[in-house]
Amino acid sequence: MSQEKLGECLGLTFQQVQKYERGANRVGASRLFDLSRVLDVRVGYFFEEISDTAQAASPV
C-alpha cells in the first residue's frame, strides 16, 4: 500500500504518514489501532519482532 493510499484511509496526508514511518512523529495508541484496522492486522503485529533490548528499556 502506498503512503498516499494509507494516508487517505487514515485521513492524513502522505507527508504525515512519512513522519510516522521515519519516527519523526510518535504513534499514539488510537493511531496504532487505526493503522491495524486499515492494514488488517492485530495491534500486536507491530510488536512481534521487538528486540529484547527494546523490551528491557521500555517502562513496566
Question: How confident is the model over 18-39, as pLDDT tens digits?
Answer: 999 999 999 999 999 999 999 9
The answer to whether position 55 is within a domain reads no
Residue-level pLDDT at 37: 97
Helix, strand or coil, per DSSP, at residue 2: coil
Q: What is the mean pLDDT of residues 44-55?
A: 84
Q: Is residue 23 part of a domain?
A: yes
Contacts 24+ apart (CB under 8 A), 1-4: 1/39
* Contact in structure between 42 and 32 (CB atoms under 8 Å): no
Of the chain, the end-to-end C-alpha distance in Å amounts to: 34
- The C-alpha cell at 28 is 499514539
* Domains contained in the chain, number: 1
Task: Tell me the pLDDT of the chain averaged across its residues.
Answer: 91
Q: Residue 22: which domain range?
A: 3-49
The answer to whether position 42 is within a domain reads yes
Question: Is 59 part of any domain?
Answer: no
Helix (H, G, I), strand (E, B) or coil at 48: coil
Q: Is residue 15 part of a domain?
A: yes
Cell of 6: 494509507
Is 57 a member of any domain?
no
